[in-house]
């Protein structure tokens, strides 16, 4: 098999818990990164090229992170926020039971979601029989700089975006910069630390939090 110079791991296909479909993103990302001839660039930096020199990317369909997005150079996890609609709540308590984060309480006026606890996993929307809870905003949570090995660390939050295109641009542009500016013997993970790459996506994160909180209000 031809060495591509990158590894993409992902969830199992068709997982019923997926908040976001990652299949197209996986396909487009593979195409974009293959075009970069990343293996040749890695070979210029390392001889011989070993597994830990190869940039690693993970796509997860939801915040459960079964495919381990926290320990990759780029970790991407799907999210879908719950939105409270005008459909009357029948007080069945299913959403409260489904929430592993204990983010939902039910009182005489209906449900309240604690935005600080909610991970936007989508569990509660899926069990609500009345349509009181439905899918709100959906997108991708981004992490960067995770790794295992001698000095393991979890990836740091790099923000949140709504489209596949934004994820593609984020990863492809960062790797282009690594090819161009990475030093001899410098792994991507160390380049990311040196450059402190976050790509200004924190602005989007702020926007995402604001719109997510808006979804939790009764309208």
**C-alpha distances in Å from residue 213, one per residue of 115, 164, 198, 219:** 6, 22, 23, 12
CA 19, CA 80: separation in Å to the nearest integer? 6
List the structure tokens of 147: 């790794």
Scan residues 84-113 and list those touching ligand SF4 (CB under 6 A): 89-95, 98-99, 101, 103-104, 106, 111, 113
Closest CA to 72 of 136, 27, 8: 8
Instruction: Lay out the site mask for ligand SF4 across 5-44 (x = CB under 6 A, - = otherwise).
Output: ------xx--x-xx--------------------------
User: Are 106 and 96 spatial neighbours (Cβ–Cβ below 8 Å)?
Assistant: yes
CB of 17 to ligand SF4, least distance (A): 4
Q: Which is nearer to ligand SF4, 35 or 210 (CB)?
A: 210
List the structure tokens of 61: 């369909």
CB of 106 to ligand SF4, least distance (A): 5
Scan residues 127-156 and list those touching ligand SF4 (CB under 6 A): 127-130, 132-133
Q: By CB under 6 A, is residue 76 in contact with ligand SF4?
A: no
The SS3 of residue 146 is: coil
Burial (0-12, 13-18, 19+ Cβ within 10 Å), 76? buried
Residue numbers at the binding site for ligand SF4 (CB under 6 A): 11-12, 15, 17-18, 60-62, 64-66, 82, 89-95, 98-99, 101, 103-104, 106, 111, 113, 118-124, 127-130, 132-133
């Amino acid at each position: 098999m031809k060495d591509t110079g990158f590894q993409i791991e992902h969830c199992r296909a068709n997982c019923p818990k997926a908040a976001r479909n990652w299949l197209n993103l996986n396909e487009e990302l593979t195409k974009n990164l293959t075009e970069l001839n990343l293996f040749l660039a890695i070979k210029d930096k390392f001889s011989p090229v070993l597994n830990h020199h190869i940039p690693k990317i993970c796509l997860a369909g939801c915040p459960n992170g079964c495919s381990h997005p926290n320990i990759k150079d780029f970790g991407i996890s799907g999210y879908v926020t719950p939105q409270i609609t005008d459909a009357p709540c029948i007080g069945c308590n299913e959403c409260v039971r489904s929430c592993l984060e204990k983010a939902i309480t039910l009182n005489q006026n209906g449900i309240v979601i604690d935005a600080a606890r909610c991970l936007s996993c989508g569990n509660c929307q899926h069990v609500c029989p009345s349509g009181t809870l439905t899918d709100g905003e959906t997108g991708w949570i981004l992490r960067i700089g995770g790794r295992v090995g001698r000095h393991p660390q979890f990836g740091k939050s790099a923000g949140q975006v709504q489209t596949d295109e934004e994820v593609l641009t984020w990863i492809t542009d960062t790797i282009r910069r690594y090819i161009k500016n990475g030093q001899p013997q410098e792994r991507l993970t160390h380049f990311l630390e040196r450059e402190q790459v976050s790509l200004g996506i924190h602005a989007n994160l702020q926007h995402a939090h604001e719109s997510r909180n808006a979804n939790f209000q009764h309208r």
